[in-house]
Amino acid sequence: MPDVANFLPSRQGFTFGNSFPPQPAKLIPTPFGNIAIGDASNGLCGGMTFAVRDYFEGAIPQPTGRQPTLGQPLYDYIVDRLFASFDLPNGPTKYYDWMTASDHDTWFRSGLARRTIVEQWPKVRADLDNNRLSCLGLVTVASLNPGDLGKNHQVLAYGYTLGADDVLTVKVYDPNSPRRDDITLSLSLADPAHTTPITHNVGIGHPIRGFFHLPYRWAQPPQLDDAEIITFVAPRALPIGTQATITLQVQNTGTTTWSPSGANPYRLGSQQPQDNTVWGVQRVDLTRDVNPGELVDLTFTVTAPAAGGELPMGWRMVHELVQWFGELEERRIDVLAPPTPVDHCDQLRGEIQSTEAEIVGLQPELQQAATGEKAFLVSQIRARQRELTKLRQAAAAEGCPSVP
């Protein structure tokens, strides 16, 4: 049975899952301030499903970076596609109609089994048979409470198998299960008049009672600059004024190609603070174009600043005169003051004074010593006197003034 050519969730799905923090799904600017709409913590599954289909059908590489946050272009785009997936005003009405229907046929109303098998599956199959992805609305709860609408879910069908016993298995991209190619839902098509269980491993905490074909219209995805710093190699400490080699490996996780030339080239730029020259480098040029998904190694030399202490070093990608983007990576490096030079004459003076003090300290011991000990103490004093002579000779050779 057919799968849509060249589509797999592990390749074309988003790398992040449908788990967002409590924050507005959308901020609408008004003269009176921003108005928050929705709560992203309830899920953006419809937006993610539609967006993945947009990227695939537009033959545009999808972003491969981390989960976007409120205000970032990818986040705003997914939210816009979420509202498109609602098919307002019809979509919520349809979900509610299915939520309030029985699983089986009644004398006055078709059950969810018949609706899924007879009415909706042929539409989904037509998409897949014609090598098109198909967006599905999954009805999960039986409820008269409109507040339960958010418990339903959306996935993207990309293939199916139909066994000889009329058991259908639909392969889906599930936003709740990123990068997994094994997510499916299965049901028998044999008896649409009666309750038909749907087995699945979709990442939801409810059963699936039925599914329907969602209306979809392609939308142009935004071009996105994004980057992830894979490795950052830098010394932990550097003496003031010394040089060191810094290495970063950066991955293009956006949808644009980074060009090192033109009016708005892509470069690695200094951060902490932005555009600083503390380490002697403000920009690092790319040596080639970097396509979406590719890695680039950047190696350059920095010089430890004159100011000592624990200082930050930060780097981030920049599209010149357009925007900074992607992950900011930083380290704190201990810039060490150079050791104080030793004055050789001071060192000789100190050794001379120390040796004189030892000789003076041995004199009382010699006067009080027993006869057997005197010879040993005399040898010690004479040894110190010879050392003292050599030290004074060395001081004279160095031209040291004020030698004691």
Q: Convert the pLDDT of each residue in 293-314 to its tens digit.
A: 999 999 999 999 988 889 999 9
Which residues, at least 6 apart from 153, have a Cβ–Cβ distance to it below 8 Å?
43, 45, 137, 138, 140, 176, 202, 204
* DSSP string over 310-350: EEEEEEEEEETTTEEEEEEEEEEEEEEPPPPPPPHHHHHHH
pLDDT, tens only, 88-141: 888 889 999 999 999 999 988 999 999 999 999 999 999 999 999 999 999 999
**What's the rounded mean pLDDT across residues 244-266?**
95
Which residues, at least 6 apart from 160, have a Cβ–Cβ distance to it below 8 Å?
1, 2, 125, 128, 168, 169, 170, 171
**What's the rounded mean pLDDT across residues 240-259?**
94
Round the average pLDDT of the chain to a whole number and report it. 90
- Higher-pLDDT residue of 404 and 22 is 22
Q: Residue 200 has what pLDDT?
A: 97
Tokens found for residue 118: 């007879």
Which of 355, 253, 289, 367 minimizes the C-alpha distance to 14? 253
* DSSP string over 256-289: S-B-SSSSS-EEEEEETTTT--TTS-SEEE-SS-
The single residue listed with the structure tokens 């160095």 is: 398
Q: Residue 32 has what pLDDT?
A: 47
Q: Cα Rg for the chain, rounded, in angstroms?
A: 38
* DSSP string over 82-119: HHHHTTTTHHHHHHHHHHTS-SS--SSS--HHHIIIII
SS (H, E, C) 142-164: CCCCHHHHHHCEEEEEEEEEECC
pLDDT, tens only, 71-90: 888 999 999 999 999 988 88
Q: Which CATH number fits domain 227-336: 2.60.40.10, 1.10.10.10, 2.60.200.20, 3.30.930.10?
A: 2.60.40.10
Which residues, at least 6 apart from 104, have a Cβ–Cβ distance to it below 8 Å?
111, 113, 193, 194, 195
- Calculate the alpha carbon distances from 60 to 127, 159, 255, 283, 344 in Å: 20, 21, 7, 29, 71
Q: Residue 44 has what pLDDT?
A: 93
- In DSSP terms, 330 is beta-bridged to 314
Q: Is the pLDDT at 145 greater than 80, yes or no?
A: yes
Q: Residue 403 has what pLDDT?
A: 73
The single residue listed with the structure tokens 């990608």 is: 317
pLDDT, tens only, 371-397: 667 776 777 787 778 777 877 887 888
Nearest-angstrom CA–CA distance, 197 and 30: 48
Identity of the residue numbered 78:
I
Given pLDDT bands bounded at 50, 70 and 90, which one contains residue 292? very high
